[in-house]
Structure 1
Amino acid sequence: MKTYIQLLLLFIIAQLVSCEDVVDVEVQNGPTRLVVEASINWEKGTSGNVQTIKLRSSTPFFNTASNPVTGATVVVINNANDETYNFVDQNNGEYRTTTFEPVLGQSYSLQIIHDGDVYSATETMTSVADITEVFQDTEDGFEDDVLEVHIAFTDPIEMGNNYLFRFQREGDLLPDLEVAEDEFVNGNAIDWWYEIEEDEDNNILPFAPGDIVAIEMFGISKDYYNYINILIEQLGGVGLFEATPVAVRGNCINETNPENYPFGYFRLTEVVRTSYTFVEE
């Protein structure tokens, strides 16, 4: 009887294993589009004359290869005086100029000619406040006794200032991005803090003494704030009750064929950069 039961269990297990089917999920690929990385960043205290714009073509979701676009014509125009800055093809997807002249509050236009299509965008060079202090603490974060870095600055008195923060700990593969607006803090001193939450599954540890974090604070337009805020939310992943990530349209358009619109954004920002090394408390 015992032998019969054992054989019956083996038969049931074999049937369960054999019933597992491999399901191939076909992921539909959208049309290939031009991807524009046109961030004109003017670091305070520099001339800002050297600028780079990157072009590539989009790839399928599971394809990690980069497809640089070469052979395009890329120019940026100062809309006040029609001064034109030619970005020279570096034959690797990068287009560079060494003669750019940034002017705060000035409107600029981007024009790209590629594969018979004309792409364009317009944006204004946006200023940023000065960082007055960088320090560490453990009082304001989500976790007690976890180190956080603080950035102190004073928001300008005029309404409508928007900020992009970029934090990257030395040795980490990717940076973290955060955005802020001055709707409720206009004209006030601001203490912006950032911490890293522990994630054992992905081997992510909080800040520790000796860690060095690079910090960038950009002044950005309201339109770019809205754009990058959506992207940051989508970078957080898709949970059970969250919306499925979708392609986010930037400010670049295809004048020749509007349906073949590009991805990416043309932005002009002033930026302050600093770093902080954590110490034992």
Structure 2
Amino acid sequence: MKKLLFILIVALGISSCDDEVDIPLKDTTPFLNVDAWLTNTGDTQQIVLNYTRPYFDNGAPEPALAAEVMVVDIETLASFVFSDEDDDGIYVWVPAPGEVFGEVGHSYGLQISVDGQVYQSFSTLNAAPSVDSITFEYNKKDAFIEEDYYYAEFWARDFEGPGNTYWVKSFVNDTYLGKPEQINIAYDAGFSAGGEVDSLIFIQPIRTAITPFPTETPAVSPFKRGDKLRVELHAIPIDAWFFLYRVQDETVRQPGFAQLFANPLANSPTNIVPTSDDVSVVGFFSVAGVSSLEVVMSDENIVDRVPD
């Protein structure tokens, strides 16, 4: 009888954990969100402006329209005017044939005027080391892998001198691996300052993070012969590296008991500065040099390939 009573008490306790708790949140005034990551490539450059929404509001963000957006080369005073051709909050600068945005070593200033407010930011365009090669490594199928399995890694060397920071982007068959857990950043050739990896080849966890590792069991190979893989190495400033580090820290959280003691969610620090003290803003402005390499998986770039 005591055992039955204990089971009933435990069951009631567990069921009580399923109750919904509504947390009332104060309404806040929306403020500007700036998404401005520019590169020295021949591609169209874009700056996305929209307004924040309440935490529990999953609707599409409201675009910031009729803004004046300009980027200025501090060294040459050349200006790049961004325009919102489609009235969707996406402001673009389209290069002329053969033209690229930015020069390595130059600093750039961003100015945004919208809704009677002015926002400013500055960033420096750094050079990116070349991506020398991309290889695919063979792994034989086993109890956990139902087919021959291939993962990719890129090969590049960090520039000499401490404090170089990078964002490694990968595209599989032209699809960008852009989930928060797929953010792949490097400080010199490693994860953070003090790693004593200056001017070395990027360490393996960073090299192999270009692979979209599957979560299903048994695993299916993320690459097959004929798949296309492009790797871009962005030489971002140190404040941009810290911003991305915080984005990943805030968004990639493992469920479980430890979350009871985790820090509350917070916006990543911005480098956008409003000229009015009583105005808030989020987002980031960065300019970066980029190197890239694209390959198609074939017998020539497979390591330890099993003979046909």
TM-score, length of structure 1 as denominator length: 0.78
1:146, distance to aligned residue in structure 2 (A): 5.1
The correspondence for 1:149, drawn from 148, 152, 165, is 152
* Corresponding residue for residue 30 of structure 2: 32
Provide the C-alpha distance between the structure 2 equivalents of 1:268 and 1:103, rounded to a whole number of angstroms.
10
* Corresponding residue for residue 7 of structure 2: none
Does the CA contact (< 8 Å) of 1:78 and 1:84 recur in 2? yes
Within a 5 Å distance, the mapping from 1:1-281 to structure 2 comes to 23-43=21-41, 46=42, 50-61=44-55, 62-90=57-85, 91-98=87-94, 101-137=101-137, 147-170=150-173, 175=178, 176-182=182-188, 183=193, 184-190=196-202, 192-194=207-209, 195-200=211-216, 206-210=221-225, 211-239=227-255, 240-241=257-258, 242-256=262-276, 258-278=277-297, 281=305
Does the CA contact (< 8 Å) of 1:199 and 1:205 recur in 2? no
> What SS does the aligned partner of 2:241 have?
helix
- What per-residue deviation string (whole Å, max 9, x for no partner) do you get for residues 177-232 of structure 1? 1110115222223352224443239x985514244444221001111111111112
Q: Which runs of 5+ in 1 are unaligned?
A: 1-12
Q: Which runs of 5+ in 2 are unaligned?
A: 1-10
1:29, distance to aligned residue in structure 2 (A): 4.8
1:101, distance to aligned residue in structure 2 (A): 4.4
Provide the C-alpha distance between the structure 1 equivalents of 2:90 and 2:222, rounded to a whole number of angstroms.
34
Counterpart residue type for residue 45 of structure 2: Q
Deviating more after overlay: 58-67 vs 258-267: 58-67
TM-score, length of structure 2 as denominator length: 0.72
Does the CA contact (< 8 Å) of 2:174 and 2:229 recur in 1? no
Provide the C-alpha distance between the structure 2 equivalents of 1:244 and 1:147, rounded to a whole number of angstroms.
38
Does the CA contact (< 8 Å) of 2:40 and 2:101 recur in 1? no
Provide the C-alpha distance between the structure 1 equivalents of 2:242 and 2:266, rounded to a whole number of angstroms.
15
1:169, distance to aligned residue in structure 2 (A): 3.4
Provide the C-alpha distance between the structure 1 equivalents of 2:175 and 2:75, rounded to a whole number of angstroms.
42
Task: Tell me the matched-pair count.
Answer: 258
* Cα-Cα RMSD: 3.3
1:125, distance to aligned residue in structure 2 (A): 0.8
1:151, distance to aligned residue in structure 2 (A): 0.8
Cα distance change of structure 1 residues 236 and 205 upon mapping to structure 2, 3 Å threshold: farther
Cα distance change of structure 1 residues 146 and 64 upon mapping to structure 2, 3 Å threshold: farther
Counterpart residue type for residue 281 of structure 2: P
Cα distance change of structure 1 residues 133 and 263 upon mapping to structure 2, 3 Å threshold: same
What is the aligned-residue identity percentage?
Answer: 19
